[in-house]
Each structure stands twice: as structure tokens, then as C-alpha cells.
Structure 1
Amino acid sequence: MEEDNKNSFKVCRVCLGCYPSDDCLSLFHVENGRAISDLIISIAKVEIVKGDSLPDCICNECFHELEKAVKFKQKCEHSYFTLINDTFKNPLIPKVDIKEELSFDNNCEFDTSFHENSVETEFEIEDKNIKKSRANDLSLECHDCGELFKSKCKLRVHWKRAHQSSYLKCERCKRQFKSFKAYHLHKKISPASCTVAKFIRIEGEGKNRMFYCKDCDYKSIRVKDMMNHYLCHSGERPFTCSICLKTFTQHSSLSSHQENVHKLYKVEGTCHVCGKYLKGRNKFYKHLKGHSEKNQQCVICNKIFKTKKTLKVHMQRHADIKTLSCEICGSRYYTISDLCNHKRNVHFKDSKVYKCDLCEYVANKNETIKKHRAKHTGANIPCLVCGVFLENEETYLLHQKRHTDKQFQCTLCEKSFYRKRYLNDHMRKKHGHGESGPKALTKKIQVKKESSVIIQYEDINSLSPTVID
């Protein structure tokens, strides 16, 4: 019984539906002298072969649709051959019956204007009755470029692609927008980019903009960088520390100040690579960057550096590019550290800004203060001028003569020395004279003995050296 039920249903090869066998026809059944499979092949690019293990039936609904398709195809072919063979007569052209008239002489004049006018009026009436297509006569002109279009949709697409960008552009900062809503919101808010655009020069539009500073050679593709750079020329310091009320030009400088001075760390944590605990945003990110970056090697001297930045600065030495200059003497240097060392050791040598927290010794370097403080004991006495430690007061008084009783002065410069051999060493190293140089170069002078210099400093409780304002 189950096999009979399975055999009583068949699958349609066209719609792939399952129908009873009574409602299906074989594809190889002959209808009107042609098999159903031949009809399907005539209208569709398919192959139907008997015994190809595919369904060999068609349902009644698909068969009726097939008959309609075959009739439509035959109708199209018939009309095509009719037009090709010039056997088609246009029903819109009226037939004019012309009566046979008697023959006239050549000299006889006959007025045919009435008949011509009557025929023309009939054609005009027929043309009025025929409805013309509105799409063919419609022509829409673009007001920006004058190009013509047949539909509003095409005109709208053309305008958006070709001309909309010129209307959605800020005249101040030359920024482009994708919609009128964003453009009007930008004009209403008037952001800082439009304000700073008055003081800079902008070239290009949209994403191709380049911002140039009018006061220097600085340029950038970001408006935010130009806003921060402009503060260097305007002198404004909009960022203020909430604790000490100190002002800064950059927000990053304010964050670094709060972390280094007030110990307000916004970022702190343990490195997941080496396990080191770090405090401070800059220290933490620089430490992580050191793990991610590979060692960089100089191709000229094969020296290895940890970061690309240090390698880039090192390559300036090979190229002899000194980008930094001293504003006092005009000397040029490769890095900012070289320039700072030059200023501290040459121009600001006497300005001692670092002070020891255990005594009144001052120096111009923080490293000198650290080395000096490590030598402090309960018995030794430090010299406040050079920082040397002495065992007792007698040696301390003798040592002070080195700073006060300088009797030998150089005739080529303003320096003076406590002993003559110090002067000879100075002459040999600085001025190129030997130890047995001419006596005219040295002269003995009397210097008034001065008491020990008393310098007043503020009491500082912290153990680390501090900077004197």
C-alpha cells in the first residue's frame, strides 16, 4: 500500500511541486502535433532527454502557462514577419477617395488648395486624438551647468554628484559635509575651527585640506594641531592647574604637571610583559611602547636604538642637520638636550637653581646635588661653594682660601687662581702657552679677604632637591 501511495504522486519538472499523477502530463506527450518537451525547449534554454533520471512530468498549471507563452511567441513572430514584408497597413492614415475627373488641358488652371487644406485638417485632427508620451517631450535643465535630463530622478542624482558638494562647504574652514543638516548645525555652532581659520592659511578643500601658520613655517592636516600651535604665538594659556593655579598652553602639559608635581596619577598599573609597576600616563605608555617596538639599528654605524624616534635623531648627526640654535650666541645643535646642556654650562653657569635639603649647598645640576647628598655624614663639613666635604674645621678654613685668596690672574681672560700651577695649567689648556711661559702673562694681585658668603634659602622639608624660583 505504501508503494502505491508513493507512486501516485509525481514531481513537476517546472515548478518542482508534488502533485497526484492524475493532475500531471508527461513531458513527451504529443499536443497539437508537437511534444510538450519541444515546446519548453523552444521558449527556454534547457535540455530535456528521455531517461535522464530527472522528473518527466508537468502539472496542469505549468502546462497552461506554457501554452500562453507559446502563443505569445507565435504572435510576436507573426507581427515581425508582417512588418518585414511591408504587408502592414497603418489604420491611422485615412483613406481619401479621389473621383476620376475629366482630362483638362495643360493651360487650364485648377484650384487644389481646398482639397489640400481639407486633408491637412484631417491629419491634424487625428494627431490631436493620439496621446503623446510625456517622458519624450519632458526636458529638465540643471541650473548650475545647463545639462538636460528627461526625469527628475536623473536630475536629482546629477545635482548631488556634481554640484551638491559646492553648496555644502563652509566658507571659513573649507570643510565639506554630506547633508544640509550637518552643514547648518556646523554654521549654528561655529566651532573653534572656524575661529582659528582667521589666523591661519588653508589650502585645499574637504579631506585634502592643509593648514599653514602665518607666523612660521608650521603646517598640519589637523585643525586641532593648528589650534594648539596658535597658542604659542597668541600667548594664551587657557589650561590652569586647580591646585597651584599655574597656567599652561596645552592640556597634555597640565596633565604632566599634575602627575610630576602634585602626584595626581590618572593612569597607573602593572606591565603585563615584565611585571613592573608604573605610575603616570607618559611613563606607562612609553614603557609599553618599548616592549612593542623592535630594536632599531643604524645602517651607517650599526649602533642599536630602542625606538625609531631616537634613531631618527641619531641620523641627523650623520646628515649634519642641526635644527636647534641658541638664541644667545647662535650656536646650533642636534637635539634639545644638547642645547639645554650648552645653556646651563655656558650661559647660565652661575645660576645655581638646585639646593641640597641637608645643607645650604646649591648647584646648577640635579645630578650634582644627588652625588653631594650621598656623601653627607654627621662629622664632615661641606663647602658651600664647590660642595667638597672636609673632615674638620681646620681643613675647611684652609679649603676656603681656594675660593677667596686667588692671587694669580690670567692676563688673557678674567679668571684668577689660588696657585700658580693652576694658572699654568689654565694657560696651557685654554690659551696654548706652556708652563714656562713669559712672566708678563702672570701678575700677582692682592685680593681682599672676604668672609664666608651667607645665602638665605627657604626651609624645605622634602628630601629631594628642589628648584629655587
Structure 2
Amino acid sequence: MNTQADVEDCGTSQPTSDNQLLSLHSSESDNECDSDDEWEPTSDNQLLSLHSSESDNKCDSDDEWEPTSDNQLLSLHSSQSDNESDTEDSDELDETREGPSDLNTLTSPKTQNVKGQTWSLSNKLSQDLKTPKQTDSTRSHTGKKRFSCTECGKMCNTKAQLNQHMRTHTGEKPFTCKVCSKGFGIKSNLKVHMRTIHTGEKPFTCKVCSKGFGQKGALTYHMRTHTGEKPFTCNVCSKGFRQKVALTDHMRTHTGEKPFNCNVCIKCFGAKSSLKVHMRTHTLEKGFTCDICGKGFRQKGALTYHMRTHTGEKPCTCNVCGKGFRQKGDLTDHMRIHTGEKPFTCKVCSKGFRLKSALPYHMRTHAGEKPFTCNVCSKGFRVKGALTDHMRTHTGEKPFTCKVCIKCFGAKSSLKVHMRTHTGEKAFTCKVCSKGFGVKCNLMEHMRTHTGEKPFTCKVCSKGFSKKSSLTFHMVTHTGE
């Protein structure tokens, strides 16, 4: 394909270095020596030096060859020598090529109009030399993803990322903990495991409160407790979350999805963490233990709240009355005292309750169920706390003491009622006449004066009474006691 051209040489010897080649080619001698022999560049450096020389006087050629098509241009540029270097990536062209043997073809600054643009071999070679090789690093910036998962079609930037992803399909866990032999698919997960479980190392520290964390991501989430940032928002109810996984779990409360199943009792859960806590009810495991009293807990949060009973810490404060609480949930329940909200309603009598826990106990009044029985007098109770208070009537224990008059009580609720005698507080008010009462049961008895209700009936004469104490006094008329 190439046309031979006469090349003038200054002698029979060939240049032995790139500098001699450049001097030979750029010489400004008026009388150039003739030579029938042809000299070819023997290395890429000689070719590049010869090709890029800017001599004003170039060797003459009787014939000129120009590429007549894009294919000829590509063929000329990518023509391979007999001894080509091996490439590391079969998808990329070999960068080590030998140029054409015709000296005039390389040295002549020939140009041709290709697709409306002026083309020159010099410019083409220079442009290709400047084009960077596409690497994993450049792909991460350009967004180009070359490696595709054959299982799910996911695209990865690098082959290493693809190999790591494939382990999610194969279940392979090549990284094993030397302490407990637990396996991991990613090396970084093994490092985190070692910090959080075995070594206790916490290299990431909060600059605000100095709390340490084993993972950088955990520190990021923690910082949002200081900034109040909640970047993940539910598109149904607009509730904000600090972590994406918390939003994912929350969305299942709207969809009703419960993908996590207990393999013991087949109970389903919307969050993996909820299933993990539930499984401890079967194993009876209590992995979190109080260092002060030795009490065990199934959840870390429960231990955190328990520790506040020792420290007296109450970080959750009511913005209406200033009362403090150990848990946020307790504050939420308390706020309903101020708002009057009773979101939990009995389906039998439509009675509303401020606390969710109060509704199941109330339902036992309809069913007549009293599952908690005193082992001394066999009296039954609907609530376990009521049985606990009752047992103190047998033991004589009175652990709750008034700080004003040092009077003691067997039940915490009794102390609470007693304190109102010192403060004069009347927390329960009649909606009809606005009369106030310190005890809820007194308000209920008072309301019967407005409604005329008499729920306590004599079994002898069927007379009704609004108070239980009134019925007791009436029974004396029949028994004479």
C-alpha cells in the first residue's frame, strides 16, 4: 500500500542516536548526498523524534502517499510489528506499534481533508499519545461502569467491586475472625467486627461529647443527634429519620410488609432488629447486663434506661410543667395529660385511655379475667403491679416514703396521692361543676351524683348505692355487725 520514495542520505552509515537523526533530518545543507539505500527508524523514540522535528528543509520525495479512507488511517496508525508487546487488557488497543518503513511517508507533513476536517498524521499521532488510558480510577470519576453482574445485572466500576458483589450471590465468606471464627464477605466488615465485639477499639470520636465509635458511619449518624439533622423523610407522613435503614423499616408500617419471620413461632416483623430481639424470648438470652446490680436485659436500649435508675438521670423534660423522665416514651405518655388525648379506645365500651398498656388491663374487666393471684390469700388481680402492691400487705413492707412527713406506703400510687395533701394539688376536675379532686376514684364517685348511677347493689334488698363504702355501711342493717 505504501509508495517507495528516494531518500537522500549523507553517506553509507546510518544514524546511531536520536540526536544524530534529528541533526540529519533538519540539516540546512544546499547539497544533500544521494543514497540508494533506505534507512528505517529502529525504535519508537527514533520514530517520534524524526516525526516531530521542525526542520525548515525536509527531505524531498517524488511521490506522496496519503490515506484515502478512515480504514487506511486506522490501519496505518495501528499496524503491528512482527514482535508486538503483550497487553494487559484485551479490550484496549496495543500501545506498542512499529511505524511504516517508508521514511518519506513519516517525514512529509502531508495533510488530507477527512470528513470535513484537515487531517495530518503528525496531529493524529500526537493526539493519540495524549489520550489517557481508561483505568478503574478514571471510570470512578466519569461514571462509566464496565463490569456487569451475570446474576442481577448490577454494574460495577472495577473488577474487584464485581468480585465483592458476587459474594452476595454465592454466600462466600473468605474473611474469618480468628477469635470466634465468624466469616465475612468483605474485609472491612471483619475489621469492624473485631473492634465492636473483641477489642472494643473505638477510633472515631465525637468532637462534641467525646463519645467513641467503632465505625465511621456510626459517628456520622451520632452527629445528627447534636445537629438535629434528619435527612431521610417519609413521603407518606413526612416523618424524618437520621438513618436510611430507619426510614426503610418505617415505610413497612405504611405498607404492612413484614419480611422477617421467626423460624420458631412463625411470628413476622417489619424490622430485622425486632426479629433479633424477639428471638431472645425463645433463647432466654439477656446479652446486656447492668454492671451495678447484675440485672440482665434483652435490648441495649432497655439497659440504657435501667442505668438511669441508678444515676437518677432524666434527660427527657416536659416543656409544659418541667417534669423529667428517663425515657422519651414516658414523656410522650405524660404529654397526653396536658393535651387530654386518649388515643387507645375500648371496642366494648368505647372508653379511652392515655396509655396503650392500660387498654389490655381494662379489657379484663369485661372478660372478668384476673390472671395474677396471691399465693397467700388467693386474691386475684388484673395487673401484676397490683399483685406486687398487695403482697406488701402480707409482708408489711412499705418502701415508699414521704419526704415531707416521713410517712411510708406500700404502693407508689398511694404515696403519689398522699403528696397532694401537702401540695394541695387537685389533678382531677369534674367537667360538670368544675369541682377538683386529689384522687381519681373520688372524681368517679362524684360524677355519679350528676348521672344518678348506683352500681353497688345490696344482695338482700336490692337497694343501690353510688359508693362502695355506702353499701358496706348499709349491709350492717341486715347483719347487725
Fold in common (TM above 0.5)? no
> Whose relative contact order is higher, 1 or 2, with alpha carbons under 8 Å and at least 6 apart?
1
Structure ID, larger Rg: 1
TM-score by length of 1: 0.36
Instruction: Give the structure-2-normalised TM-score.
Output: 0.35
